[in-house]
A and B are shown apart, each in its own frame.
Chain A
Amino acid sequence: MGLLSKKDTKLITDPLTDNNPITIQVLGICSALAITAELKASLVMGIAVLFVLGVGNVVISLMRNIIPSKIRIIVQLVVVAALVIVVDQVLKAYAFELSKTLSVFIGLIITNCIIMGRFEAFALANGPWRSFLDGIGNALGYAVILIIVGFFRELLGSGTLFGFPVLGDPIEQTGVYASGYENNGFMLMPPMALIIVGLIIWVQRSRNRDLIED
């Protein structure tokens, strides 16, 4: 037996596939639409959420027996907000460049419904280790979808990946642009993210019929 028991492994792998927070639980759609026009932003957001959800789940789990149930949502919100602000301040002081890149995500992390959802559904009822794994798993599941959507939107919308031109130069008409190809500006608009997420949901459910709800 390795580091993780079979049950624990499932906590990580389930959200990646059959219980994905975006495509199955349909949470966190707002940020998936807002920031996936670039692959880099998708990746950064994925890492940020990974950190906040992993640590936040542990904190909530440790406090689960002393949190008054009447104000538990506010307590969860305070934990996320405090965590995010501390990280933001530390980055501003010691990794200023990175903090500039992240600035726009700070607000989006606090309002990400996946985080509140996992606190409420999992961390309040489970121990810290399992909550940590659940947080990591869900954040990875979220990141995977973000990266897939970001990949297609940046490639088809701007012809670049991580900012590097991979299809040639649209203004100088080199690479594939020489044959008349054009970037699809519509891919940069948020609605296209929704359509790509929809396509992912379609592919996923047609491969696994159990996921189809009646």
Chain B
Amino acid sequence: MAANTDKNSYTILFAVAMVVVVGSILAFTASSLKPNIEENERMEKQQNILYAMGVNDNEDVSDIAFVSTAEVAQIFSGKISEQLVLEYKDGKIINKMTGDEFLNSKDPDKGIQPYLIDLKKQQNRAKEGKSRYLPLFVGEMEGETVYVAPIRGKGLWDEIWGYVALNEEMTVKGVFFDHAGETPGLGANIKQRYFMDDFYGERLLTEAGVFKGINVAKGNNDPKNESKDDYAVDALAGATITGDGVSAMIKKDLRLYLPYFNNLKTN
């Protein structure tokens, strides 16, 4: 090698070349794989929503099992009878749209499938003082109508999110939680079935109809989760902050739907 690798000019040249080469490799990979990745994420969202309302292949396994990717689109359109988008502002639902209305809207903030609505964007809109769009998926489970709502919050390291299926009394009929980077074996266990199954039958509202939410509680004297009236599920050992994140996102995001559910009851 003739070039003197200690010269400043060589160093700068090398750095520039490296940035260009690596940058193009990454850009090329990202853009050529993007359609596949988006398709996977789309199917995952549908699988998650269906999982929350009890449509899954859980029966033969102790782990979580989604409906297969090959069938998910068909099952999703079959099981979800209605996709709704509620426009929420200052404690009130100011507008109710069907999924098609939302999808066909010319408004650049709308115009997507309701299940693809990015909650982070909606939370930012609320911070800016704008109205936010709340997606809600209506289906049927155990002979009653269930409403699946997405939630999103913070865990210990990164985002956590989920879907909660509620009946008209806002009793939980099923949940699905996921996370971007919680610690394996600790916080990551919010995605385990034994944790998610505990939420079944827990109530969000008191008898008087006041929103109370569900606490992921330490020192719960009810490890088998027999009491469904305690507004608490047993926490995960070693995952205090992730558990608190789960409690917080349930309280914060599901409370927004309260006016809608109140309205259901009075009608």
Contacts and interface: CB of A to CB of B under 8 A. Distances in A.
A89 B37 contact: yes
B238 A68 contact: no
Contacts of B18: 75, 78
Contact of B184 (A37, A68, A69): A37
Interface stretch (A1-9, A90-98, A134-142, A199-207): A90-98
Given A94-B36, A171-B223, A82 B184 contact: no
A66 B5 contact: yes
Q: Which of B63, B183, B184 has the most CB of A within 10 A?
A: B184
A127 B116 CA distance: 49
Interface in B1-53: 1, 3, 5-6, 10-11, 14-15, 18, 22, 25-26, 29-30, 33, 36-37, 40, 44
A34 B1 contact: no
B244 interface: no
Contacts of A188: 185-186, 237-238
A67 B5 contact: yes
Interface residues on B, range: 20 to 34
Contact of B185 (A37, A70, A89, A96): A37
A35 B182 CA distance: 10
B181 A96 contact: no
B184 A78 contact: no
A86 interface: yes
A38 B10 contact: no
Given A82-B22, A185-B238, A104 B182 contact: yes
B1 A66 contact: yes
Contacts of A40: 184
A189 interface: yes
Contacts of A68: 5-6, 10-11, 14-15
Contacts of B184: 35, 37-38, 40-41, 104
Contact of B6 (A70, A86, A154): A70
Nearest to B40: A96
B63 A66 contact: no
Q: Which of B18, B157, B182, B185 has the most CB of A within 10 A?
A: B185
Chain A contact surface mostly:
helix
Interface string B152-195: 00000100000000000000000000001111111010000000
Interface residues on A, range: 35 or more
Interface string A104-118: 100100000000000
A109 to B, nearest CB: 13
A41 B26 contact: no
B33 A89 contact: yes
A86 B26 contact: yes
A121 interface: no
A80 to B, nearest CB: 11
Interface of B: 1, 3, 5-6, 10-11, 14-15, 18, 22, 25-26, 29-30, 33, 36-37, 40, 44, 63, 157, 180-186, 188, 223-224, 237-238
Given A69-B6, A188-B237, 13 more contacts: A35-B184, A37-B183, A37-B186, A68-B5, A68-B10, A70-B11, A71-B11, A82-B25, A85-B26, A85-B29, A86-B26, A92-B40, A185-B238
19 contacts: A37-B185, A38-B184, A65-B5, A66-B5, A68-B5, A68-B15, A70-B6, A71-B11, A71-B15, A75-B14, A78-B22, A92-B36, A92-B37, A93-B33, A93-B36, A96-B44, A171-B224, A188-B185, A188-B186
